[in-house]
């Protein structure tokens, strides 16, 4: 039997194949120019990653193939991300992941917004995962939050934030008839510190107060960690903290530990070393209290009594004016 020799058909097939390869190469180049990271992923592992994804994950095109996206997700969101990853294979609508933090070889901290959706791919089910690097946006938002809520020198909360949150916590305590305590303290002879060592040394002392507070009030459970963060700088060298659910005795115990630790801490600045102490006033909610100012005034009177009785001590006050 004679076979029909279709040279033109062969040439057309070769041209079609060449055009297909050219198209794939052009598509790959186009995807590499995307500012968004893109990964094509099957259940078992990664099939393809564009250049932006390779940069984010600190990988090369060869080594990343076969790895799993979840290997790059830092705890504690890995379990939740696993659920979102699996759901992306099972539904037609795109799946928006929670913000994830990357776990990469250099240790760089990157936060990504992730969206995944199913994609037809040569007879197998795959998903395309898009990554938007929002690290800079999150950093800017955090800096703005700090400027709004935090004292820029010490890192403690500022007076406005403290009063707002203390009022909310106090009124909840009044409604639920639970304990609520508050303390204020300030540095003894702080003007002498500034006059003797200079204002920059005084600034270092104030920053040390926040560090010592965090070390003194460190707890293992989340609820107490939340309480720890309520330290605020409410004046030049005056600080305050409130404690929902804590009695006067418990709050006074925190004040005593803070007083002792602060007095034992050596502050080093510009080749000099010095120490500071502080006087504390502690009070607790009384039935007649209406606003946080009622407690602050009562704590301040106890603080002044600590000054009068020799400084570097804790006094408490349960009496109304």
* Residues known to be catalytic: 237
For 63, 100, 129, the CA distances from 46, given in Å and listed in that order, are: 10, 18, 10
Give the Cα separation of 295 and 76 in Å (integer).
Answer: 39
Look at residues 198, 281, 272 and name the one whose alpha carbon lies nearest to residue 239.
281
- Burial annotation 252-268 (CB, 10 A radius, 16+ → b, else e): bebbeebbeebeebebe
H helix count then E strand count, the chain = 11, 14
Angle among Cα 214, 236, 307 to the nearest 5 degrees reads 85
Two tokens, residue 277: 């102490």
Phi, then psi, of 187 in degrees rounded to 5? -75, 135
First-to-last alpha carbon distance for the chain, in angstroms, is: 117
Residue-wise DSSP of 174-237: HHHT--EEEEEEEETTHHHHHHHH-HHHHHHHHHHHHHHHHHHT--SSHHHHHHHTT-EE-SSS
Contact assessment for residue 131 and residue 53, using Cβ atoms and an 8 Å cutoff? yes
């Amino acid at each position: 039997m004679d076979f029909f020799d279709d040279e033109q058909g062969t040439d057309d097939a070769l041209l079609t194949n060449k055009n297909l390869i050219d198209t794939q190469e052009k598509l790959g180049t186009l995807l590499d120019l995307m500012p968004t990271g893109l990964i094509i992923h099957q259940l078992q592992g990664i099939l393809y990653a564009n250049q932006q994804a390779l940069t984010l994950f600190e990988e090369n095109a060869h080594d990343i193939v076969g790895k799993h996206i979840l290997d790059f997700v830092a705890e504690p969101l890995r379990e939740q991300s696993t659920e979102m990853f699996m759901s992306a294979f099972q539904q037609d609508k795109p799946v928006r992941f929670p913000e994830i933090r990357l776990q990469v070889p250099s240790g760089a901290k990157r936060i990504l917004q992730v969206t995944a959706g199913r994609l037809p791919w040569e007879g197998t089910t795959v998903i395309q995962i898009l990554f938007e690097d929002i690290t800079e946006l999150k950093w800017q938002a955090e800096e703005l939050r700090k400027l709004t809520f935090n004292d820029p020198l010490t890192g403690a909360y500022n007076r406005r934030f403290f009063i707002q949150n203390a009022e909310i916590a106090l009124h909840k305590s009044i409604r639920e008839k639970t304990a609520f305590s508050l303390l204020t303290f300030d540095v003894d002879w702080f003007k002498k510190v500034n006059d003797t060592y200079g204002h920059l040394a005084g600034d270092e002392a104030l920053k040390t107060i926040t560090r010592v507070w965090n070390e003194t009030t460190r707890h293992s459970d989340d609820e107490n960690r939340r309480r720890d963060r309520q330290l605020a700088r409410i004046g030049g060298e005056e600080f305050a903290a409130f404690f929902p659910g804590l009695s006067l005795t418990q709050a006074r115990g925190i004040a005593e530990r803070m007083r002792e630790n602060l007095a034992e801490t050596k502050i080093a600045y510009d080749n000099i070393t010095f120490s500071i102490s502080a006087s504390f006033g502690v009070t607790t909610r009384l039935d007649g209290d209406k606003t946080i100012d009622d407690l602050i005034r009562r704590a301040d009177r106890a603080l002044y009594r600590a000054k009068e009785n020799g400084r570097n001590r804790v006094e408490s006050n349960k009496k109304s004016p």
